[in-house]
């Protein structure tokens, strides 16, 4: 299946919602420290409902540790500083869909990392800063999953 990576997430409910999406879709969720919350945070637990035990969540100490754990893979960095739309990618199982912290997004250093295969964007109306992190990740996961016919879904 696909893998979602949140680099230095700050808002507990966004990560809780991503945990729920991970459980529902079979997607792995990778969190890269530092986190802006404790994993036992009540808001994170509440947003994830009772899906925490059904989700595959891995926490990495830093981006270097995440790359080592993920191995060879394609990485799509979601950013407003891209021209390629996320729907123009032919996703493959094992791809990493990488998102940055709220509200700053991915840093220029992360966007320039050699592991990043391509930068992609989610279209928005002009003058809008960003979509909610959990919503953006869910859009991306469902597009990748849709392209493969939603294997395992009912």
pLDDT tens figures, 118-135 = 999 999 999 988 899 999
CATH of the domain at 133: 3.40.1280.10
Q: Which is nearest to 62 in space by CA: 36, 39, 33?
A: 33
Q: Is residue 152 part of a domain?
A: no
Q: Is residue 43 part of a domain?
A: yes
Instruction: Decide: 119 and 88 in contact? Cβ < 8 Å.
Output: no
Q: Is residue 117 part of a domain?
A: yes
**Burial bucket for residue 48 (CB in 10 Å: 0-12, 13-18, 19+):** buried
Residue ranges making up the domain that contains 128? 3-147
Q: Is residue 21 part of a domain?
A: yes
User: What value does the CA radius of gyration of the chain take, rounded to a whole number of Å?
Assistant: 14
Digit-coded pLDDT (tens) for 29-73: 999 999 988 877 676 666 555 777 788 999 999 999 999 999 999
Written in H, E and C, the secondary structure of 115-134 is CCCEEEECCCCCCCCCCCHH
Q: Is residue 9 part of a domain?
A: yes
Q: Is residue 154 part of a domain?
A: no
pTM, two decimals, is 0.93
Tokens read off for 105: 């997004």
Q: Is residue 47 part of a domain?
A: yes
Domain count, the chain: 1
């Amino acid at each position: 299946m696909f893998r979602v990576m949140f680099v230095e997430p700050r808002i507990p409910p966004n990560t809780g919602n991503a945990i729920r999406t991970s459980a529902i879709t079979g997607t792995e969720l990778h969190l890269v420290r530092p986190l802006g919350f404790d994993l036992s945070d009540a808001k994170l637990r509440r947003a994830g409902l009772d899906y925490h035990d059904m989700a595959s969540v891995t926490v990495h100490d830093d981006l270097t540790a995440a790359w080592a754990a993920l191995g060879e893979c394609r990485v799509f960095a979601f950013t407003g500083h891209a021209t390629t739309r996320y729907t123009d990618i032919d996703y493959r199982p094992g791809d990493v869909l990488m998102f940055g912290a709220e509200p700053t997004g991915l840093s220029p250093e992360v966007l320039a990392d050699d592991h990043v295969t391509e930068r992609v964007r989610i279209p928005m109306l002009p003058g809008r800063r960003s979509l909610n992190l959990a919503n953006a990740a869910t859009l991306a996961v469902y597009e990748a999953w849709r392209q493969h016919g939603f294997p395992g879904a009912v």
